[in-house]
Structure 1
Amino acid sequence: MAIAIRKPQDIECLRISNKMVAQTLELLSQNARPGMTLLELNEMGEEFIRANGGRPAFKGLYGFPAGVCTSVNEVIIHGIPNNYTLKDGDIVGFDIGVEKNGWYGDAAVSVGIGEISKENQDLIDCSRDTLYHAIENIKVGMRFKELSLVLEEFIHSRGFVPLRSFCGHGIGRKPHEEPEIPNYLEGPNAKQGPKIKNGMVFCLEPMICQKSGTAKILEDKWSVVSEDGLFGSHYEHTVAIVNNRAEILSAV
Structure 2
Amino acid sequence: MIYLKTDTELDIIKANGDILGRCHAEVAKNIKPGISTKELDKVAYEFIKDNGGNPSFLNYNHFPASLCISVNDVVVHGIPGKYEVRDGDIVSIDCGVFKNKFHADSAYTYAVGNVKDETLDLLRTTKASLYLGIEQAVVGKRIGDIGFAIQSFCEKAGYTVVRELVGHGVGRSLHEGPEVANYGKRGDGAKLKEGMVIAIEPMINLGKKSIHQENDGWTIRTQDHKPSAHFEHTVAIRKGSAEILTTFSYIEEVIEKSDNIVSI
Same fold (TM over 0.5): yes
Deviations 1:208-230 (A, max 9, x none): 11222122001221111121111
Counterparts of residues 92-241 of structure 1 (less than 5 Å): 92-185=91-184, 190-241=186-237
Q: Which runs of 5+ in 2 are unaligned?
A: 250-264
User: Displacement of 1:85 after TM fit?
Assistant: 0.8
Q: Secondary structure at the match of 1:20?
A: helix
User: Displacement of 1:120 after TM fit?
Assistant: 1.3
1:176 aligned partner, one-letter code: H
| From 237, 246, 251, the counterpart of 1:250 | 246
2:152 aligned partner, one-letter code: E
Deviations 1:9-29 (A, max 9, x none): 010011111111111112212
Match of 1:17 in 2: 16
User: Displacement of 1:162 after TM fit?
Assistant: 0.8
User: Displacement of 1:156 after TM fit?
Assistant: 0.7
User: Displacement of 1:116 after TM fit?
Assistant: 1.0
2:139 aligned partner, one-letter code: V
RMSD after superposition: 1.2
Q: Distance in 1 between matches of 2:208 and 2:68?
A: 22
Q: Distance in 2 between matches of 1:174 and 1:244?
A: 27
User: If the length of structure 1 is used for normalisation, what is the TM-score?
Assistant: 0.95
User: If the length of structure 2 is used for normalisation, what is the TM-score?
Assistant: 0.91
The answer to whether the aligner puts 1:28 opposite 2:27 as a matched pair is yes
Q: Which runs of 5+ in 1 are unaligned?
A: none
Q: Distance in 2 between matches of 1:204 and 1:66?
A: 22
1:39 aligned partner, one-letter code: K
Give the fraction of aligned pairs with identical amino acids, expressed as a percent: 35
Answer yes or no: is the 8 Å Cα contact 1:46–1:67 preserved in 2. yes
User: Displacement of 1:242 after TM fit?
Assistant: 3.2
Deviations 1:182-228 (A, max 9, x none): 1112xxx5433321111111000000112221220012211111211
Counterparts of residues 31-70 of structure 1 (less than 5 Å): 31-70=30-69
